[in-house]
Amino acid sequence: MKKPILLINDDEELVSQVTKVLKDGGYYYMTAATAKEALTQASGYDFALILLDLKLPDMDGDQLYGKLIESESHYVVPVVALVDSLDSQEVQVVNRLIPQGTVTLLSKPLKTEWLEDLFSRYGEKKG
């Protein structure tokens, strides 16, 4: 079974931008707008990569990351945390997130070439 990329973000514009790159590249992917959706999806899949929003409506990114790592302990999943402005709230989340495991930070606004490079390294294509 192919491993999809999981995009967890509640920003519709960003989701649209990222999914366009994923579709154009022919990658398997799934999206979730909340931590609850992400945890539900994680129970049925192994992911090639997770793109994680630091501030979700129902949970901060570090809490969700901890739950994902706990529930997916049978494999190591690369995680890229999407960073906005690094305001004081995001800095607190990042400071709690980093000690939990290997996380790469990627700042918004996202550039298409960054996404293409990331997906080519981790994603699995259809077909």
pLDDT in tens, 10-62: 999 999 999 999 999 999 999 999 999 999 988 878 899 999 998 899 998 88
Residue-level pLDDT at 50: 92
- Domain residue spans of the chain: 5-122
Residue-level pLDDT at 40: 92
Q: Show the tokens assigned to 33.
A: 């707008």
Residue-level pLDDT at 3: 92
For 5-122, which CATH class?
Answer: alpha beta
Q: Show the tokens assigned to 17.
A: 């931008």
pTM of the model: 0.87
- Which candidate, 20, 25, 18, places its Cα nearest to that of 53? 18
Give yes or no for a contact between 28 and 2, defined as CB atoms under 8 angstroms apart: yes
pLDDT in tens, 48-57: 999 999 889 9
